[in-house]
Amino acid sequence: MIHSRIEPVVDSQLPKEQAGFRRGRSTVDQVTLLTQDLEDSFQAKAKAGVVLLDLTAAYDTVWHRGLHLKLLRTIPDRHMVNFIMEMLSNRSFILQTSDGQRSRLRRLRNGVPQGSVLSPMLFNIYIFDLPVTTSRRYGYADDLAIMLHQPTWKAVEEGLNQDMDVLAAYLRSWRLQLSTGKTVSAVFHLCNREARRELEISVENKPLEFQQAPKYLGVRLDRTLSYKQHLDEVRAKVTARVSLIRRLAGTTWGASAK
């Protein structure tokens, strides 16, 4: 009920770059947008770099006071805002070990409930004011990516580093943690020699891992967008499952039909 009441108001204020859990939008849209922009960079004979950001326990670390401020900015109904905050504030948990011992009752002071239909929308509100970057931004809830194409690799590195500094500062200010160990960079170019270039991107003096074929929203993206590696991985999964089905459907073993 809450979701249906606030969805039209919230959706009208979310940036177009954010597609997560919005009516008529899907992961396919974001993958298509990113790959189309990369194809455009190929046509322009430019160098393209991408950074795929990973947030540590994004939903669990939403700062309630910060969320309250942003709810007040997006939802005009103050009674609804207060109701949502009351719902989030009155949550607690108890840990129980395998031998039956139980911890004390503890109150949850951060985060939005996992599995709730309202949580993705609340998270979208929480990061709806991500700062403007030189790079093109793509978002699906907490799955964020930025892409920049320039005439030289040096310009790509400088632009991505500057944008990552801006985004990292924003995330820190709202108590979200960027996982530098899982955030990765990649390059996209049709020339083999150019595509061997590894970007030097760092956040808070920590270099980001470079990957030749990163995965974004479930799709493996190689440097030329041939999707060969992605199709090979899908084929392997399908083959394994077909083999399992054949074994289960075998007619030469098991109990007699009589």
Would you list the domain boundaries of the chain? Answer: 2-224
Buried b (16+ CB within 10 A) or exposed e, 98-109: eeeeeeeeeeee
Q: Tell me which residue of 17, 19, 35 sits closest to 27, measured CA to CA.
A: 19
Going by pLDDT thresholds of 50, 70 and 90, the confidence category of residue 31 is very high
With bands split at pLDDT 50, 70 and 90, how would you rate the model's confidence at 192?
confident
Count other Cβ atoms within 10 Å, centred on residue 252: 4
Residue 20 has a pLDDT of: 78
The answer, yes or no, to whether residue 118 has pLDDT greater than 70, is yes
